[in-house]
Amino acid sequence: MAPLVQVEDLEKRFDAVRALGHVSFEVESGEWIAIMGPSGSGKTTLINILGGLEHPTSGRVVVDGMEIGQLGERELTRYRSDKIGFVFQQFHLVPYLTALENVMLAQYFHSITDEKEAAEALRRVGLGDRQEHLPKQLSGGEQQRVAIARALINHPKLILADEPTGNLDEENEATILHLLRDLHSAGHTILVVTHSQAIGNLADRRIELEHGRLARISVPVRSGAGST
Amino acid sequence: MTPRSRSMFWRIFRQLLRASRGRLIVALIALSSGAAISSALLNINLDAEQKLTHEFRTLGANVVVAPPSSGSDAALADAAIMDHIVEPPAPQIIAAAPYLYVAANSGAQPVILAGTWFDQVAKMNSWWKVDGAWITSREDRLHCLVGQAAARQFGLAPGSQIDLRAGERSVSLTVSGIITSGGAEDSQIVTSLDIAQNLAGLPDRVSLVQLSVSGTPAEIETFTSHLATALPGLEVRPVRQLAAAEGSILARINGLILWTIMLILVLTTLGVLASMAALAMERSRDVGLMKALGGSVERIMHLFLAEAAALGVVGGTIGFAIGIVLARWIGGRVFGVAISPRWPVFPATIALAVGVALTGALPLRLLGRVRPAEILRGE
């Protein structure tokens, strides 16, 4: 079976600045990948390209059989709503919509809304009693859990999380990691950008970037495998 | 859109309105103000023609009926033509006054005597200034009105007696009032038609008939043609200078009102534009997020355009209501009569307000170009 994600010789330039260069890797369906590296190494750019928010400058990026670089604006929009579930460091909830409506918003853009399903998604992340709360009435951890419920609601092929615990305290970080672990166990494919060694150690593999280049792909020590 | 998606659309729409109510109220005030003035002016514009043509009818005759060569003394018409003019009564005739002009003398001095129907002259020339009393009866054979120049010439004042002679006939009349018209009447003596006909020995004859006819210049032309057909052998002619002046005034007022409305709409659009630009700044992050979540530009823009259209409908309705009050007030001040609301103005005001709101929503429409990656990075 073809890998879910294929990245071949990916390059991304912002004018004269090269954010990514000669990056190649593959991700199998159901894998949990941690993308690590220092600030400015190109992690978020990579996630944005995989999520269809940026076009690659050159190289091939294929997700679930769709080559990102070949997609027009409309197709990219469809790609994002069909295949991708985003979780951002800043949560990025719509401030004037309730938790339930934020989840339903993703349904609305994808196809049709189903309030019961959205409520169930919130219950799964432990927010069954917070559905009618606005983001400002929720803690950071709760907002991130709403974002995770929103990311999952359309059953995406790929969950892209950019520093999902970066703005959370230890307790909330543990809750989010627990959720990610559950998602992984349920067979979801997850790519997480993180600085956290703890999250990196939970992943199946770690992709490390340095100065926009792929430095190494490694399997965390707990698995007993070495670097490739 | 499925019913469930429609329901979500309105759900987001309501939350969007609630979240942005401060800025939207500012835009609504701008829209309502613009719509109110536009609606008032449209109401006035539709009513102005009727009101002004009515006003013009107090400024003297605008149609004259006379024998073909009215310049000659011999050219006189039969007084029976009045029956053809006023029977059956035509609603557009405000007043109809026959005139017989007689060259008479008071003592050794010549004077023109104009015999007419006082009641009709009063209706037609309400702007004449009368020092003394107006003569109300058409049949009055004892009194006369004297033009202010003639009164000066003969040393007359209200209550004075004046003896008039034409050939072998004479009559003695009491001056009821001194008139100032600014026209030929200032040097004439105005009597009842009977007196003039008796003095001249021309019973049942008139020199001409003056008519005050309501309507637009085109309507007056039509009326004149019909009357000419009914009165063969007589000239029926509009007082062209007056008709042209009235037409020109109406056209200018019309143009002035329409240009003012356009100017107000432009200013209103600028006001709405300013509010919407601030709103667009606030919403750029939300739009970036919606696009990142797979929201198509069309779906997101439907929300904003629906919001602008709703603003236009509400602003237009409020504006129309205020516009009615404003039009009544302006009508009362300018024409002395309240202007009644014209219902076709309502959809026109709504359409204008919605058009302004959608044009003013340009900054929101430009949000469709937002690149989500840049917005989510906080650029």
C-alpha B219/C-alpha B50 separation (Å) is 12
Specify the residue for token string 């992340």. A125
Interface of A with B in 143-162 (CB under 8 A): 150, 154
Residue B238's CB is within 10 A of a number of other CB atoms, namely 20
**Contact of B364 with B284, CB cutoff 8 Å:** no
Helices (H), chain B: 3-19, 21-56, 81-86, 118-124, 148-154, 193-200, 217-230, 240-292, 297-334, 345-360, 362-366, 372-377
Average pLDDT of the residues in A48-72: 94
**Amino acid B58: pLDDT:** 63
Decide if pLDDT at A224 tops 50.
Answer: no
**Amino acid A53: pLDDT:** 93
Tokens encoding A6: 């294929």
Taking contacts as CB-CB distances below 8 angstroms, the residues of chain A near B297 are 73, 77
Number of CB pairs < 8 Å for A and B? 82
User: For residues B204 and A27, which has the higher predicted lDDT (pLDDT)?
Assistant: A27
Closest residue of A to B284, CA-based?
Answer: A94
Decide if pLDDT at B210 tops 50.
Answer: yes
**Amino acid B7: pLDDT:** 87
Average pLDDT of the residues in A113-140: 93
* Contact yes or no for B296 and A107 at CB 8 A: no
To the nearest whole number, what is the mean pLDDT of chain A?
A: 91
**Contact of B267 with B274, CB cutoff 8 Å:** no
Specify the residue for token string 């009821």. B176
Closest residue of A to B20, CA-based?
Answer: A96
For a pLDDT cut of 90, what percent of chain B falls above it? Answer: 53
* Contact yes or no for B8 and A94 at CB 8 A: no
* Contact yes or no for B290 and A107 at CB 8 A: no
To the question of pTM greater than 0.90 for the whole model, the response is no
Considering only the beta carbons, identify the residue of B5, B19, B294 that sits closest to A112.
B5
Over residues B264-283, the pLDDT tens digits come to 999 999 999 999 999 999 99
Give the pLDDT band (50/70/90) at residue B163: very high
Looking at the complex, report in whole angstroms how far the Cα of residue A49 sits from the nearest Cα belonging to chain B. 9
The reply to whether CATH 3.40.50.300 applies to domain A5-97+139-223 is yes
Give the pLDDT band (50/70/90) at residue B102: very high
Taking contacts as CB-CB distances below 8 angstroms, the residues of chain B near A94 are 286, 289-290
Decide if pLDDT at B111 tops 60.
Answer: yes
Decide if pLDDT at B160 tops 90.
Answer: yes
Give the pLDDT band (50/70/90) at residue B167: confident
Strands B129-132 and B169-180: antiparallel
* Contact yes or no for A108 and B5 at CB 8 A: yes
Strand order in the sheet with A213-218: A84-87, A158-162, A189-193, A32-36, A205-210, A213-218
- Is residue A106 less than 8 Å (CB to CB) from chain B? yes
Decide if pLDDT at A225 tops 50.
Answer: no
* Contact yes or no for B294 and A80 at CB 8 A: yes
Taking contacts as CB-CB distances below 8 angstroms, the residues of chain B near A114 are 4
Taking contacts as CB-CB distances below 8 angstroms, the residues of chain B near A118 are none
Over residues B23-61, the pLDDT tens digits come to 999 999 999 999 999 999 998 888 777 677 666 666 677
**Amino acid B248: pLDDT:** 78
* Ranges of each domain in chain A: 5-97+139-223
Mutate to test the interface with A, among B282, B293, B370 (most CBs of A within 10 A): B293
- Is residue A57 less than 8 Å (CB to CB) from chain B? no
To the nearest whole number, what is the mean pLDDT of chain B?
A: 87
Closest residue of A to B372, CA-based?
Answer: A53
Q: SS3 for B174?
A: strand
Average pLDDT of the residues in A103-129: 92
**Amino acid B253: pLDDT:** 85
Average pLDDT of the residues in B241-268: 84
**Amino acid B54: pLDDT:** 66
Over residues B296-348, the pLDDT tens digits come to 999 999 999 999 999 999 999 999 999 999 998 888 887 777 787 888 999 99
Decide if pLDDT at B75 tops 70.
Answer: no
* Contact yes or no for A109 and B293 at CB 8 A: yes
Contact residues for B14 (Cβ-Cβ < 8 A; gap 6+): none
Predicted-complex ipTM score: 0.90
**Amino acid B376: pLDDT:** 77
User: For residues B285 and B339, which has the higher predicted lDDT (pLDDT)?
Assistant: B285
**Amino acid B80: pLDDT:** 80
For a pLDDT cut of 90, what percent of chain A falls above it? Answer: 72
Over residues A161-218, the pLDDT tens digits come to 999 888 888 888 888 888 888 889 989 999 999 988 888 888 999 999 999 999 999 9
Decide if pLDDT at B240 tops 80.
Answer: no
For a pLDDT cut of 70, what percent of chain A falls above it? Answer: 97
Helices (H), chain A: 43-50, 73-83, 99-110, 115-124, 140-152, 170-185, 197-202
Considering only the beta carbons, identify the residue of A73, A81, A104 that sits closest to B294.
A81
Give the pLDDT band (50/70/90) at residue B245: confident
Give the pLDDT band (50/70/90) at residue A23: very high
* Contact yes or no for B4 and A112 at CB 8 A: yes
Taking contacts as CB-CB distances below 8 angstroms, the residues of chain A near B376 are 53, 88, 90, 92
